[in-house]
Amino acid sequence: MNAAPRSGAAVHDAVRFEYVLRLADTSLILGQRLGEWVGHAPALEEDLGFGNLALDFIGQARLLLSYAGEIEGRGRTEDDLAFLRDGADFRNLTLVEQPNGDFGHTIVRQYFVDLYQTLLFDALSLCSDARLAAIAAKALKESQYHLRFSSNWLVRLGDGTAESHRRVQDAADRLMRFTPEIFDGDALEQSARTAGFAPDGAALQSGWESGVAATFREATLEVPKAQRGAPAGKRGDHSEHLGYILAEMQFMQRAYPGAAW
């Protein structure tokens, strides 16, 4: 750590780096999780669906990690950031590192993230950071069809059989406690907002809650109450699941540093 007082610009860049890293890691870890479905989904179309979603998220993560590396200015590439950081240095939302569970559980998690990302990227596409705005505008187009996919499935399962209804309701009940973290607008996000490149968390939250209410109504599901007390992955405080994800994702670069093909 550098103990010398840092200039305003350096502090500003540190905030920007951390903020972009949060967005990048959320996409990266979700992409890695979705990749676990390949070859295991209940139908071929859904297998392709999860594989394609995973590609979009990893693509977004690449654009964001490259940008984060440039902001940091220490020469770290997207690969360095993805494969050579330890768990406590990851800044993803705790929600996306939760295990896939059954198909319905993955759909609920996906729906929560997709709805959040459509609102987030829509706001970010207008932010003062031109590079971030460009990445967000691109990602938004994808989030919109991701949301169509996950919300259609949520309605189909919720308003489906007694068994499918029970499973997605149960998943929603278990996953809801990871959602307050998304909108808590902590000190870093406040600084990022003041600097003009992060949206207002409270505004996103009200849009997200009304979206959830409408889709859950259509899906004949009950919106669970969001309890507090879950870890905050975006501040490096993760659930036990992240370590297992990294062990698999980073294995090659850890075991064979610099391996390329």
Partner 1 sequence: MVGQTLEAATWAVLSAIPDPEIPVISLVDLGVIRHVRTAGNSVEIGVSPTYSGCPATEVIRKDIKAALLGAGINAFTLVDVLSPAWTSDWITERGAEALRHYGIAPPVRGGVNAGGADARAVCPRCASADTERISEFGSTPCKSLHRCKTCREPFEQFKCI
We find the least distance from the C-beta atom of residue 261 to partner 1, in angstroms, to be 13
Distance CA 54, CA 35 (A): 6
What's the min distance (Å) between Cβ of 230 and partner 1? 28
CB of 151 to partner 1, least distance (A): 10
* Identity of residue 32: Q
CB of 48 to partner 1, least distance (A): 5
Nearest residue (CB) to partner 1, 34 versus 93: 34
Q: How far is the CB of 190 from partner 1 (least distance, A)?
A: 27
Q: Based on CB atoms, which residue is closest to partner 1, 83 or 145?
A: 145
Closest CA to 23 of 148, 154, 199, 249: 199
The DSSP output letter for 223 is P
Of the pair 52, 190, the CB lying nearest partner 1 is at 52
CA angle 213, 127, 71 (to 5 degrees): 115
**Contacting residues toward partner 1, per CB under 8 A:** 45-46, 48-49, 51-60, 62-63, 130-131, 133-135, 137-139, 141-142, 144-145, 148-149, 152
Region for residue 51 given its phi and psi (left: phi exceeds 0; alpha: psi -120 to 50; beta: otherwise): alpha
Choose between 145 and 200: whose C-beta lies nearer to partner 1. 145
Q: Report, in Å, the least distance between residue 196 CB and partner 1.
A: 17
For 176-179, which contacts have Cβ atoms below 8 Å and span 24 or more sequence positions? 176/223, 176/224, 176/225, 176/226, 176/227, 177/226, 177/227, 177/228, 177/229, 177/230, 178/93, 178/94, 178/95, 178/98, 178/230, 179/95, 179/112, 179/226
Instruction: CB nearer to partner 1: give 130 or 187.
Output: 130
Nearest to partner 1 of 54, 81 (CB atom): 54
